[in-house]
Amino acid sequence: MFTEKDLQLFAQKGIEKNKVDVQIKKFEEGFPYVKLRAAATPVHGVLSFDQYQVNNYVDYYNQHIQYYDVLKFVPASGAASRMFKDLFEFRDALQKGVSIDTIMKNSEYAAAQVFVKGIKRFAFYSQLKKVLSRDGFDIERLIIEGDFEIILNYVLEEKGLNSANLPKALLLFHRYNDGSRLAMAEHLVEGVSYALNGQRQVKIHFTVSAEHKKIFRDALEDVIPLYAEQYDVSYEISFSEQKKSTDTIAVDMDNKPFREEDGGILFRPAGHGALIENLNDLDSEIVFIKNIDNVVPDNLRGPTNTFKKVIGAHLISLQKQSFEYLQMLDQANFTEEDLEDIIQFVQKDLMISLDQEFDTMDNIEKIDFLFSKMNRPMRVCGMVRNEGEPGGGPFLVLTDGGESLQIVESSQIDMKDAEQKAIVDSATHFNPVDLVCALYNYKNEKFNLSLFVDADTGFISQKSKNGRKLKAQELPGLWNGAMADWISVFVEVPIETFNPVKTVNDLLRPQHSG
């Protein structure tokens, strides 16, 4: 199946042949669906804290975080092109001769209407006005005359703001009295609140694409001195790219390697699940993970800052107790009462279900089981009430011998199964990608995160290239399958902490435009 040239390509990418063989087998057999037992809800699986507990956790976090090496991890390599899909369609309509009057009266162009009516409220409006003026255009006159094709060209193309070709991180999201802020800059400011160590240093790691790395660095150099002085902090910014070794082979509709015109095999980036390798390369003890587009302006940041500290404090307190119990088990320094306390902690605090055979185990087997369950990377995940937003959700998933709490994406569920669909429909919360992770064990050794991935939780999608259909394969997602064997605890956080920007018009929502 593979030529010598193919094997050279594998070696160049750092991909072993047997890994490619496994991927092709997955194309042939498909990925199994998970088996849901129930939705995780406040009744079981999702913790909900009252105001007294929230205040105590914030105090606890402020007192303890200075003793940890904390970092904020922001996946930021995605291009913003999908954000502007509606604007491309708007421009296409204009280019086909549809008048602006027709567009403003036709419900088919609702997104275009929102853009036109709100154009002056976008954070990028001042910059857009400037680049148009540079080339002899008056944006006010263009708006009055309804000449939006020129405006759209300058929003989307390189001669203007180049928005469609930039990563989301480098788009202007919010407007302030002293100017507008990039999405990336909002993360710098937000990091001061909860990712500040005892030396008043904020550590942030961005995953970026190779083609954007230089402009990303340049943009950071422009703003870091400003925020460092304003908040009396220093910043340690690091970058990584998705590794070529995590690319997955593409196949044709017969599950044979998809070959390009020159005969070479096509590989594709394997989705955000590949970023578990980037996370695995980091050395920080406590890592917050948050998407690049989920940020709000300063005046709305209160709930985010508060609940980042809440989930961080809950993680630290769980880890502290877990380490104490692991030391006791490791050194065989415990009583029968201690063992019962550990069992209760594993079940009630870590929310780990005991295997069906646990009660029939002898003490040595119980100790091995408890030690194995506790000696894992840990994460506390914020969950918001389900109000129709897209995203994976928290569920109890059946496993060999028991069940476990998991974040599950819709692609992992057999929605044709009436019982499984009913469980999905009963879900009360979803995952907004709001995680804090502990990456070290009780001996202060870093976990190898690749050992805690469920390889059966990837998925297959259909794509095309040059008019030819192909199948692509994504690795287990960063916050679902790639962390399937972690200790996972779910905490309810307010909907105000979730404000994603999926389309350009989302920037006109009150959460972003004031």
Q: Is residue 75 part of a domain?
A: yes
At residue 215, the pLDDT reads 94
Residue with tokens 């594993």: 346
Note the Cα 442 to chain centre separation in Å: 27
**How many independent structural domains does the chain possess?**
2
174 burial via Cβ count (<10 Å: 0-12, 13-18, 19+): buried
CB neighbourhood size of 96 (10 A): 7
Least confidently predicted of 131-140, 391-400, 415-424, 478-487? 391-400
Q: What is the mean pLDDT of residues 390-411?
A: 87
Q: Is residue 99 part of a domain?
A: yes
* C-alpha span between 391 and 412 (Å, rounded): 12
At residue 389, the pLDDT reads 58
Residue where one domain finishes, among candidates 138, 165, 192: 165
pLDDT digits (tens, 9 = 90+) for 154-164: 999 999 999 99
pLDDT digits (tens, 9 = 90+) for 447-461: 999 999 999 999 898
pLDDT digits (tens, 9 = 90+) for 6-42: 889 999 999 999 999 999 999 999 999 999 999 999 9
At residue 387, the pLDDT reads 76
Q: Is residue 206 part of a domain?
A: no
Residue 231's φ and ψ, nearest 5 degrees, are -110, 5
At residue 410, the pLDDT reads 87
Pair (152, 284) in one structural domain: no
* Residue 390, pLDDT above cutoff 60: no
pLDDT digits (tens, 9 = 90+) for 420-437: 999 999 999 998 899 999
Identify the DSSP state of 290. Answer: E
At residue 514, the pLDDT reads 63
Instruction: Quote the pTM value.
Output: 0.94
Pair (98, 59) in one structural domain: no
Residue where one domain finishes, among candidates 120, 150, 165: 165
Domain boundaries, position 87: 81-165
pLDDT digits (tens, 9 = 90+) for 480-514: 999 999 999 999 999 999 999 999 999 999 999 76
Q: Is residue 254 part of a domain?
A: no
At residue 383, the pLDDT reads 96
Q: Which candidate, 441, 460, 461, places its Cα nearest to that of 451?
A: 441
Q: Is residue 252 part of a domain?
A: no
Pair (64, 85) in one structural domain: no
- On whether the CB atoms of residues 194 and 312 are closer than 8 A, the answer is yes
**What Cα–Cα distance (Å) separates residue 27 from each residue in 95, 255, 468?**
41, 6, 17
* Sign of the CA dihedral running 52, 53, 56, 62: negative
Q: What is the mean pLDDT of residues 277-288?
A: 97
Pair (305, 407) in one structural domain: yes
Pair (44, 135) in one structural domain: no
Average pLDDT over the chain reads 94
At residue 301, the pLDDT reads 95
Q: Is residue 348 part of a domain?
A: yes
Q: Is residue 339 part of a domain?
A: yes
Q: Is residue 150 part of a domain?
A: yes
At residue 244, the pLDDT reads 92
Pair (94, 52) in one structural domain: no
Pair (53, 150) in one structural domain: no
Pair (46, 97) in one structural domain: no
* Residue 333, pLDDT above cutoff 60: yes
At residue 79, the pLDDT reads 79
pLDDT band, residue 330 (cuts 50/70/90): very high
Pair (280, 138) in one structural domain: no
Pair (364, 398) in one structural domain: yes
At residue 77, the pLDDT reads 85
Residue 292's φ and ψ, nearest 5 degrees, are -65, -30
Pair (401, 435) in one structural domain: yes
At residue 391, the pLDDT reads 60
Residue where one domain finishes, among candidates 165, 188, 210: 165
Pair (348, 412) in one structural domain: yes
By three-state DSSP, how is residue 124 classified?
coil
Identify the DSSP state of 17. Answer: H
- On whether the CB atoms of residues 457 and 480 are closer than 8 A, the answer is yes
pLDDT band, residue 466 (cuts 50/70/90): confident
pLDDT digits (tens, 9 = 90+) for 37-47: 999 999 999 99
